[in-house]
Amino acid sequence: MTKTLLLSFICLLLLSTVATKAQSISYCAESRAQAIQKKAIASPEHQRQMNLYDVTFYKLDLHLERNSTYITGNATIKAKVKSGGLSVFAFELHQNFQIDAVLINNRREQSITRNGGEVTVQLSTPLTASAEVAATIHYTGTAPSGASAAIGNGFNTAREPEWGNHVTWSLSEPYAAYEWWPTKQVLTDKADSVHVFVTTSAENKVGSNGILTRVVDLPENKRRYEWKSNYPIDYYLVSVAVSNYEEYLQYAYPNGTPIPILNYVYGGGAMAAYKDEMDRTPGFIEHFSELFGLYPFHGEKYGHSMAPLGGGMEHQTMTTQSTFTFTLTAHELAHQWFGDNVTCASWQDIWLNEGFASYAEYLALQKFATPEAAENWLLDAQDLAKLNVPGASVQVPAQDTQSVVRIFNYRLSYKKGASVVHMLRFEINNDNLFFKALQNYQQQYGGGTASTADLQKVFEQLTGKQLGYFFDQWYAGTGYPTFRIAWNQEQNRLLIVSEATVSSTTPFFRTDMEYRITTTTGDTTIRVTQGKAIENYLLQVKGEVTRIQPDPNNWILKDASLQRNRLLAVPDFGPPVLYPNPVHGPSIKVANLSFEPTVAKVYDMTGRLVRSSYFLTSEETTVPVSDLPAGMYQLLLTNGSQKYSARFVKVKN
Ligand SMILES: [Zn+2]
């Protein structure tokens, strides 16, 4: 889900005009949190009752129009009774709706108790474990308008201002599905399949999940759209969008698999306005399929239904979007993998949806835009992630899962989340493994839900790395490190001293760091570990150092300052070291030489010269030995009168 209109826009505007960034954004996000702090989750007792069954199927059969939030129709919940048996059937439906009838296994039940949005139906005949239950709820009413969803209401209608189209659409995340249909709002209980049937005036089209199997003409100039999906789906991803849409069909071909992309676009000129932007979608699908694994709903479709929601919502196989800007389209599409195929197991884990979808914006910019555009995106994300808002949470996990505003905190769930994904990629230090882990995660948890611990496990299993400290400090922890870096050069010796401090409760951030070292002879990037508060790195360089850049590729969430300190004593290298010795590889190296040799000579034990070569490399002296037979040798390195000599053993290749 991405909200582009109110919250983030205001924040970004304030950000660019007010000097004290941290202060400005706090009022933006956190005061809104106060204003719409609301509780829409069912009580623990009601959740317990809903968890006596396991949903297998949802069917909605509704009458909707494009200029109204009035709903009449019915919904069927099919489920399997769990081991405890079932004497009441519990679900959620907003109190605005009148319940006209409840049929359970074709029998009309009369004992219906309502408490706010909680509905409990007493079963005439209790059901035993493993029994199937089919509950059909007939209901009527006008959807509420309390703006309790992530953007707006669970069910909305509006006239979009640009071309004047009326649109009615749903947006259930995180727990506003009950504002328009009877449901069980428990993330970990996905339905195996869903049917969404909508009857509407004949000039409308209805966008929804899966495949449009039929459009049935009905009396009184009505039509019924019959959508069916056979993929597992979470309650908040079931959707409708109703308008007098125009249709634009495209195809993507990831791995040669044709995927239809069905766009329901506003009438009145929007098609021409958005066509070029919509045409980015196939490339995005193909690229993300390469990175994360084949588009998860490849047996059905992808698509967009337009609605004036001020952003986008990743409804499964049919995203609802207000525009087609580059990053919005990429973000919502990436949710089909991260959010829809693998859904966060609790709202506390929302960064598994939003952090990854946000990071996919960066991946798409890298592939399809310019390196500068991608870098700017990353730096903006890190700036937002680092903002320290007094009194507000600064951890990624959304611990207050009853606060919609905290769940969708742009700074933490989106931007710090994306920054953590970027650092995880750096930590893995191998893009093949990093993306393979993401593919494994999709395979292992696709069709279900996953927690942050599940993600960590997938990465640990594939890479063999222990990542507990990584998630402790960057995900569960607060703040970020500040590096104060001093350096000095004496002859061919460069000393870099890095002092890491923190401004948070996280005592220390252990991380690798890259340094780009530019000298009069060229530049090189090294990777070192900040394993304690103060680290000294002594390096051999060729030429005069003209510039040092810490973290030149912006991997790490950090602040860094750097200066040359000419008073900093640069220690001598230890004695020269020849390695590996014995050698069975292609070459030997000599480190810590106090001079740059121009000639290398290798003698065998009889004193015969067997190799003479000249050096080209700067940092370490490398001598090829692959063609030497096994035996003992003497190496002699010289530059004028300067000499180094050592013995080494060559073993069989
Ligand atoms: Zn999102």
- pLDDT tens per residue across span 335-371: 999 999 999 999 999 999 999 999 999 999 999 999 9
Determine the distance from the C-alpha atom of residue 544 to the mean position of all C-alpha atoms in its chain, rounded to a whole number: 42
Six token digits for residue 519 = 């000298």
- Domain boundary pick from 530, 564, 598: 564
User: In a 10 Å sphere around its CB, with 0-12 CB exposed, 13-18 middle and 19+ buried, how is residue 54 labelled?
Assistant: middle
Task: Kindly report the CATH number assigned to the domain that includes residue 495.
Answer: 2.60.40.1910
330 C-alpha vs ligand 1 centroid, how far in Å? Answer: 10
Q: How much helix, strand and coil, in percent to the nearest 5, is found in the chain?
A: 25, 35, 35
Number of domains in the chain: 5
pTM above 0.75, yes or no: yes
331 C-alpha vs ligand 1 centroid, how far in Å? Answer: 6
pLDDT single digits (tens) 409-442: 899 999 999 999 999 999 999 999 999 999 999 9
Q: What is the pLDDT of residue 280?
A: 98
Do the strands 211-218 and 222-229 form a parallel or antiparallel pair, or are they unpaired? antiparallel
Q: Tell me how crowded residue 633 is: count the other CB atoms within 10 A of its CB.
A: 20
Q: What is the pLDDT of residue 14?
A: 32
Is 370:378 a contact under the CB 8 Å cutoff?
no
* 223 and 272 both lie in a single domain: no
In a domain, 17, yes or no: no
335 C-alpha vs ligand 1 centroid, how far in Å? Answer: 7
344 C-alpha vs ligand 1 centroid, how far in Å? Answer: 12
* 234 and 260 both lie in a single domain: no
Q: What is the pLDDT of residue 389?
A: 64
pLDDT category at 24 given cuts 50, 70, 90 is very low
**CA 179, CA 169: separation in Å to the nearest integer?**
12
398 C-alpha vs ligand 1 centroid, how far in Å? Answer: 15
* 323 and 278 both lie in a single domain: yes
In a domain, 23, yes or no: no
Peptide bond connecting 371 to the previous residue in cis, omega within 30 degrees of 0: no
pLDDT, mean of residues 228-243? 98
- Give the closest residue to 3 by CA, choosing from 358, 317, 344, 341: 358
* 644 and 536 both lie in a single domain: no
598 C-alpha vs ligand 1 centroid, how far in Å? Answer: 58
354 C-alpha vs ligand 1 centroid, how far in Å? Answer: 5
100 C-alpha vs ligand 1 centroid, how far in Å? Answer: 36
* 439 and 511 both lie in a single domain: no
Task: Kindly report the CATH number assigned to the domain that includes residue 356.
Answer: 1.10.390.10
pLDDT of 400 above 90: no
* 373 and 331 both lie in a single domain: no
327 C-alpha vs ligand 1 centroid, how far in Å? Answer: 11
Burial code (b: 16+ CB inside 10 Å, e: under 16) for 596-606 equals ebeebbbbbee
In a domain, 232, yes or no: yes
In a domain, 589, yes or no: yes
- Domain boundary pick from 336, 360, 379: 336
In a domain, 418, yes or no: yes
* 78 and 111 both lie in a single domain: yes
444 C-alpha vs ligand 1 centroid, how far in Å? Answer: 22
410 C-alpha vs ligand 1 centroid, how far in Å? Answer: 10
Residue span of the structural domain in which 624 resides: 577-650
The residue behind tokens 């490339």 is 283
Q: Tell me how crowded residue 514 is: count the other CB atoms within 10 A of its CB.
A: 17
332 C-alpha vs ligand 1 centroid, how far in Å? Answer: 6
In a domain, 3, yes or no: no
313 C-alpha vs ligand 1 centroid, how far in Å? Answer: 7
* 257 and 360 both lie in a single domain: no
174 C-alpha vs ligand 1 centroid, how far in Å? Answer: 12
In a domain, 462, yes or no: yes
419 C-alpha vs ligand 1 centroid, how far in Å? Answer: 15
Q: What is the pLDDT of residue 34?
A: 39
Is 501:532 a contact under the CB 8 Å cutoff?
no
Q: Tell me how crowded residue 395 is: count the other CB atoms within 10 A of its CB.
A: 17
321 C-alpha vs ligand 1 centroid, how far in Å? Answer: 11
* 81 and 230 both lie in a single domain: yes
* 233 and 251 both lie in a single domain: no
In a domain, 558, yes or no: yes
348 C-alpha vs ligand 1 centroid, how far in Å? Answer: 15
* 614 and 639 both lie in a single domain: yes
30 C-alpha vs ligand 1 centroid, how far in Å? Answer: 19
* 234 and 257 both lie in a single domain: no
- Domain boundary pick from 189, 213, 240: 240
Six token digits for residue 146 = 């309390």
- Give the closest residue to 496 by CA, choosing from 473, 513, 510, 479: 513
